Chains A and B, each alone.
Chain A
């Protein structure tokens, strides 16, 4: 049982480049989210999904796109990378079945935009 898997773990981009951060979960969770974490700060919600085909914006969505074609996968696309997007990105999933509402997080992708 792998939980939440994020790839790549590290990435360096040039300003203006685009890329996709991958996220996959094998727990059949309905809910998935993307967060970014800047140094010394908490996690801020970028986009989230309540199920396949349904996504919505979080607190800091500008510059990012998401889609959810399957329950398992929730990729995050950077359209035109900017230095302000240098951060650590975390994907998370959760389910509302049972009593455990707590999200399970991946190990993160550390992105540097130069």
Chain B
């Protein structure tokens, strides 16, 4: 479906706390789910991905959880830092259809000192 509106959901956290950003996806045929970070004036930057046959994957300070039953994806950021302030997007990748990447609505993460 289309995203409507000019205001992104916002998550405000204190520096040092953990952040959890959630995303609902729509295509059960997607092969990978990817989280991107976008800072102001820049292009999206790859953070971490998870294959559809997994339910958890960890990276450096980040963990992605996938719940296929309810079509839900989450990104957990440990010990959130000021440099983590950005817009975070989840995206679905369908490799069978030309590697098409479909983005969800983003979440603005604000880290308060």
Task: Mark A residues whose CB is within 8 Å of B.
Answer: 4, 30-31, 33, 35, 39-45, 48, 50, 56, 58-59, 90, 92, 94, 96, 100-108
Q: Which one of A41, A56, A100, A107 lies within 8 Å of B3 (CB-CB)? A: A41
Shortest Cβ distance from B93 into A: residue: A101
In the complex, A105→B91 CA distance in Å? 13
Task: Given contact pairs A40-B6, A42-B3, A108-B42, enumerate 7 new A-B contacts (beta carbons under 8 Å).
Answer: A31-B99, A40-B5, A40-B8, A101-B32, A101-B95, A103-B44, A105-B44
- Cβ-closest chain B residue relative to A6: B43
B binding-site residues for A, Cβ under 8 Å: 3, 5-8, 31-32, 34, 41-46, 49, 89, 93, 95, 98-106
How many pairs, one residue from A and one from B, have CB atoms within 8 Å of each other in the complex?
72
Whether B98 pairs with A48 at a CB distance below 8 angstroms is: yes
Does B105 lie within 8 Å of A42, measured CB to CB?
yes
Min C-beta distance of A113 to chain B, whole Å: 19
Does A50 lie within 8 Å of B99, measured CB to CB?
yes
Quick check: A105 and B43 within 8 Å, CB to CB? Answer: yes
Closest to A56 in B: B98
Rounded to whole angstroms, the CA-CA distance of A113 and B61 in the bound complex is: 41
User: CA of A58 to CA of B101 in the docked complex: distance in angstroms?
Assistant: 10
Contact B98 A104 (CB under 8 A): no
Across-interface contacts of A102 in B (CB, < 8 A): 34, 46, 49
26 contacting pairs across A/B (C-beta < 8 A): A30-B99, A31-B99, A33-B100, A40-B5, A40-B7, A41-B5, A42-B3, A42-B89, A43-B103, A44-B103, A48-B99, A58-B100, A92-B101, A96-B95, A100-B49, A101-B31, A101-B32, A101-B34, A102-B34, A102-B46, A102-B49, A103-B44, A105-B43, A107-B43, A108-B42, A108-B43
Complex CA gap A94/B91 in Å reads 14
Question: Which residue of chain B is the closest to A31 with respect to CB atoms?
Answer: B99
